[in-house]
């Protein structure tokens, strides 16, 4: 018996799902985590990303942060491309940065999502509220990942 195709989630439904999944979470600066998700989705849109990439931007940290399960992602009414991008940008425990970057580069659509993510993470205004040691560590981490992805330092 074949499965009846489901209507794909709209971007509004993906956004609502991501907001609900991350409700109550905050970033390192104490801001609502959903602000980061919105900024990454907008960054993807501004960079010419398509609906699959924008949906992946909303969900880019959901599995990594255990906000949504891998099973939820597998079963979600999303395009396989969106799912592939989410999985590509999901860090794995103990994974070297080089392997992580290689997976992103090998997944169509994922480099743009990661570029928008890094741009928001490395935003000087966002980093300015952190203590100096954390700010320096993260600045170096983001610059290294941009280099591994062949992305310029310009944000």
pLDDT digits (tens, 9 = 90+) for 131-144: 999 999 999 999 99
Supply the pLDDT for residue 155.
46
The answer to whether 116 touches 89, Cβ cutoff 8 Å, is no
pLDDT > 70: what percent of the chain?
95
**Is residue 79 pLDDT above 90, yes or no?**
yes
Range 61-69 average pLDDT: 94
pLDDT digits (tens, 9 = 90+) for 101-114: 999 999 999 999 99
Which of 124, 82, 142, 95 has its CA nearest to residue 153?
142
pLDDT confidence bin for 32, thresholds 50/70/90 = very high
Supply the pLDDT for residue 153.
60
Supply the pLDDT for residue 5.
60
Range 40-66 average pLDDT: 97
pTM of the prediction?
0.92
């Amino acid at each position: 018996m074949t499965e009846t195709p489901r209507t794909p989630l709209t971007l509004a439904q993906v956004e609502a799902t991501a907001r609900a999944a991350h409700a109550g979470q905050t970033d390192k600066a104490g801001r609502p985590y959903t602000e980061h998700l919105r900024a990454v989705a907008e960054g993807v849109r501004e960079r010419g990303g398509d609906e699959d990439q924008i949906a992946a931007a909303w969900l880019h940290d959901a599995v990594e942060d255990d906000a949504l399960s891998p099973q939820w992602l597998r079963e979600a009414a999303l395009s396989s491309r969106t799912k592939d991008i989410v999985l590509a940008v999901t860090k794995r425990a103990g994974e070297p940065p080089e392997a992580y970057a290689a997976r992103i580069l090998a997944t169509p659509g994922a480099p743009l999502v990661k570029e928008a993510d890094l741009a928001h993470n490395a935003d000087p205004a966002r980093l300015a509220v952190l203590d100096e040691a954390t700010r320096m560590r993260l600045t170096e981490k983001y610059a290294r990942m941009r280099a591994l992805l062949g992305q310029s330092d310009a944000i």
